[in-house]
Chains A and B, each alone.
Chain A
Amino acid sequence: MELVRSHVLICGGTGCTSSGSEVLHEEFDEMLVKYGLDKEVKVIKTGCFGLCALGPVVVVYPEGAFYSRVKKEDVEEIVQEHLLKGRIVKRLVYDETVEQNDIKSLNDVNFYKKQQRVALRNCGVINPENIEEYIAVDGYQALGKVLTEMTPEEVIDTVKKSGLRGRGGGGFPTGTKWDFARKSVNEQKYVCCNADEGDPGAFMDRSVLEGDPHSVLEAMAIAGYAIGANQGYIYIRAEYPIAVRRLQIAIDQAKEYGLLGKNIFDTGFDFDIELRLGAGAFVCGEETALMTSIEGHRGEPRPRPPFPAVKGLWEKPTILNNVETYANIPVIFNKGADWFASIGTEKSKGTKVFALGGKINNTGLVEIPMGTTLREIVEEIGGGVPNGKKFKAAQTGGPSGGCIPASLIDTPIDYDSLISIGSMMGSGGLIVMDEDNCMVDIAKFFLEFTVDESCGKCTPCRIGTKRLLEILDKITKGQGTLEDIDRLEALCYHIKNASLCGLGQTAPNPVLSTLRYFRDEYEAHVVEKRCPAGVCKALLSYVIDPEKCKGCSACSRKCPVGAISGEIKKPFVIDTTKCIKCGVCMETCKFGAVVKK
């Protein structure tokens, strides 16, 4: 075996790829040849490290130097200084890891300290396009154990004992779901994987698929053995080209190694997996719609019961789990259900991956033990709210979830706590908002999404969400009445009660939770015709404070509609009838003389 002294790990996730990591790979290869190090140093493209805000990320082992925002021009310096001379290039290293003359371990950095990477255990560690690297980190060991040592009942018992619950949103106990499907009598059953991650800003599943595709394949084969299925489908959105490519590579390699296909591990168990590409409809993340889409029809949900465990894909018993749920499965068998159950809270076991975004310093992917508080995520892992602004709320669960206000920042993040405060775990989007966010506007943002993504099958979702949005629009324009708020709320409950699928039933949540915690903001829009956060354009006007204005005319020159006039060195004035509220004047003024009212 070829031995190398250093490894250069380059993140090949979508985030870092879009900020240019592919070029880095080529550049490293070239530079290593140039400095004659190509036999001693190996460059590996990995999955996501999580700190997407700092991408492209390059980590050099054995030192564990975490280089951030690396540019093509920096590569030669890293090769020359670090790899050739052994001197870490400190100016490029993530500043949190720098400690006087040394660097600290990533695990001691705030961002990683409170994280526990279970589902993401191999992301950023192995080359996802090489099955041997997966096997080297115990890959397919769980499948081997399951097939050769365990009965299907024991497999299901283990999953039940681990306490694993679905990571896709609903939080249904995975073992129970498998048990239902096992007990459905049918010659043909299916195992499906939901990789149709569609929440705006969420990319947990994408990262797993890009960084560790085999863990999902292995888990699906285990599920197939448990329920008695020999065919699996991964329904993945076509907007994830890297994930699609790596999955296909992984499937091909697994077949080549006999880990998928006929007679796996010589046990007589057959299991095959095929990819099905979704066209990007959010509703296809709903289980029955997903199956309808795999069947080749328009992706629309169908009524339940019958549930998929009884009549799913092509009316055969089917289980559907999402990517992150599957990613937890092999490790449960390798380390034991008890180990898994020791992480998390009483009713929510294990960890949860979140895509942390919004008004937060460390945006990226984080995996925390269940029960970690929102405060820990925002203040410690996330590094707090930027620009000294105040934390106002966090939104979890995407368009189906709700807002957690600052007063509840100490809420532990687990399925039941989130439900009890009117939000939900969802698939793991976590968006942080500060005082500059208008909560009515936030509700409107999510409603716009669901209105766009409603499939149009049932009346309450098709028309009801549209009407909700229209009322919200009216309110943000200052045309709302108190009766509108009541109508809004009543309609929310009707839509929740009456809709056919989860999309419609949860679509009003962003409205209901903001109404619950920020009703005063709604009322300010309606009664005082004021947007307290200064976001809703119709309700604010830009004015120049004559005390602060120096009369420099900079704003006037930048104004696209000529709404600002005045004499040099005297205070300027904005003509509000002409002003389109674009805010350019405010950005331009160096003296803070332009204010929103």
Chain B
Amino acid sequence: MDMVNLKINGQPVSVPAGSTVLEAARAAGIEIPTLCYLKDVSQTGSCRMCLVEIKGGRALQAACVYPVAEGIEVQTNTPTVREARKAVLELMLSNHDRKCLTCPRNRNCELQALSDELGVSDIPYEGERNEYAIDDISPSIVRDNNKCILCRRCVNVCKNVQTVGVIDTMERGFKTKVGCAFEASLGEVDCVNCGQCIAVCPVGALREKSSVKDVWDALASDKHVVVQTAPAVRAAIGEEFGLPMGEPVTGKMAAALRRLGFDKVFDTDFGADLTIMEEGTELIHRMQNGGVLPMITSCSPGWVKFCEHNFPDFIPNLSSCKSPHEMFGAIIKSYYAEKAGIDPKNIYTVSVMPCTAKKFEAQRDELAATGTPDVDAVITTRELAQMIKQSGIQFAKLPDEVFDSPFGDEASGAGVIFGATGGVMEAALRTVAEVLTGESIEHVDYEAVRGLEGVKIASVQIGDKTVRAAVAHGLGNARKLLNSVRSGETQVDFIEIMACPGGCVTGGGQPIVSSRIKMDVNVSAERAKAIYAEDKALKIRKSHENPYIKQLYSEYLGEPGGHKAHELLHTHYVARPKY
């Protein structure tokens, strides 16, 4: 690799060609404040926090976009630099609502952190402040432009990473704001609710539509409140309580949920196992009977809505399976209700999800198998953490407990890995392989579909059949893959698509990681480690071996893909216009 030599604060540094001054400085152990910069997502040089002096240059330069060149001399800590950065921050604060105490990002805000770091003690440039109405029409995402600092990380992730592009800057000068075309609400456009905008926002301008109060109200009522938690939640919620990233906290989470007062604490892994039974059966059926291929997974509601808006011609390819928590919700309100002798109308189901799109999904009319919604409320990992904090539960000190029986105390590893990109594919392959060959498979780690490459394509030999599989995570990658499938360039049988880059572990509802940490840590990879570790440690690693799954089919559903299963566990989709 070509190396470039430069000097930063007099210190010689050698970095690969194509690096930025910011990267070079960090390699030399020098921190530079940033706001609009977000590795792999946003590189616009617009906020002007990362200003540095380049010898011989007229004005200060933004380190995040300034390419290194042989022999340049950079100063990151001169009076001019310090004062300019501080002035920029003070200007930003002068048009910010500064309501830190009531902000969802209080103590986890990059703007707040920089104010502290740069020693802002007053705002010398007070003046007019823009005031905006809060957009809370979307079932998933709330936008509060009073807090927006126009770093455009949300715009870039939406437009460039996800290729959804429903938000952009509008107006200009001091009146510049981020919004949707024609002043529409996020709830009125083809937003897919993935929440990646929330995950990248450095401040509190974006947040999930909270259902915390609904859940508290349900817990206080005489309803039978059942909670389920998605696999990715356990891989990240510990971070909210100061535990290291990548440490699974499944037991503590179950204990916390129980202490919050839920009547039953279940694991969505069961729903995932159920999904594999149905989806695997559907795949085999399609492959053996000339059905529409490739079949595409439907677990990710952000992806499903994206498909409905942007690839309506692929709707027949979407698996008709509901997503795992919706399947589980339907089972809770039917089979479980029957067994426990509770009127389904008195059951309130709560899903804890790493996802904001699930909030939208839960409101879809077609996901109400028993007459009421399969899932009554969806809260994100962040909202659950907030409830735990509100309850005074000392999370780190909780004992490890197990999920409730039935369903919860015997999940498979296949269900757990749903949280990482490639996980659904791998889980499905474990089951499909055994069903097709009729033999027990020893080696269940399908490494080819793991990892963070944008699009993964693998051929898996199952008996005398080759299953061609493709995995995409992030909607930009999904778009690429589908375009290539559409053109005939890529020919596969089965596709897994997750809306969020990295899969559910880095979903829009997960704990927010600052841009500075993201410069050094690959969050998706770290959190995925927790998931794969849990899978590895479990006794049962294939969905069809989960005893409760077997019991459910023999006692209630009959065959996978059978009539009853279809009634409860499958759904349909609609093409949606762009506007």
Contact = CB atoms under 8 A, between A and B. Distances in A.
Q: Do A and B come from one complex?
A: yes
Contacts of B80: 497
A586 interface: no
Contacts, number: 109
Interface in B292-342: none
Interface string B78-109: 00100110011001101100000000000000
Interface stretch (B57-65, B190-198, B204-212, B523-531): B57-65
B173 interface: yes
Given A303-B65, A498-B59, A453 B84 contact: no
A305 B149 CA distance: 25
Q: Which of B62, B88, B150 has the most CB of A within 10 A?
A: B88
Contact of B169 (A453, A456, A491, A505): A456
Contacts of A23: none
Nearest to B80: A497
B173 A459 contact: no
A211 B104 CA distance: 61
Contacts of B65: 303
B240 to A, nearest CB: 30
Interface stretch (B120-128, B180-188, B378-386): B120-128
Contacts of B87: 460, 464, 490-491, 494, 498
B472 interface: no
Contacts of B174: 451, 454, 456, 462-463, 465-466
A456 B69 CA distance: 29
A457 B150 CA distance: 8
B176 interface: yes
B94 A456 contact: no
A399 to B, nearest CB: 13
A456 B168 contact: no
A298 B44 CA distance: 14
A291 interface: no
Contacts of A460: 48, 87-88, 91
Contacts of A302: 44-45
Contacts of A305: 66-67, 69
Contacts of B61: 303
Contacts of A303: 44-45, 61-62, 65-66
Interface string B153-196: 00000000000000011011111100000000000000000000
Contacts of A505: 58-59
Contacts of B46: 457-459, 500
Contact of B84 (A281, A451, A454, A498): A498
Contact of B95 (A298, A463, A487, A497): A463
A455 interface: yes
A410 interface: no
A470 interface: yes
Interface string A320-331: 000000000000
Interface string A380-412: 000000000000000000000000000000000
Contacts of A466: 127-128, 173-174
Interface string A468-504: 0010000000000000000100110010111110000
Interface string A285-300: 0000000000000100
10 contacts: A305-B66, A455-B172, A458-B45, A458-B47, A459-B47, A462-B150, A463-B91, A487-B124, A497-B59, A498-B87
Q: Which 10 A-B pairs have the closest CB atoms?
A: A456-B176, A494-B87, A303-B45, A454-B173, A463-B91, A467-B125, A470-B127, A466-B174, A303-B65, A498-B84
Given A456-B175, A467-B94, A487-B124, 18 more contacts: A303-B62, A305-B66, A452-B173, A454-B174, A455-B172, A456-B173, A456-B176, A457-B46, A458-B46, A460-B88, A460-B91, A463-B125, A463-B174, A466-B173, A467-B125, A494-B83, A496-B59, A505-B58
Interface of B: 44-48, 51, 58-62, 65-67, 69, 80, 83-84, 87-88, 91-92, 94-95, 124-125, 127-128, 149-150, 168-169, 171-176
Interface of A: 281, 298, 302-303, 305-306, 451-460, 462-467, 470, 487, 490-491, 494, 496-500, 505
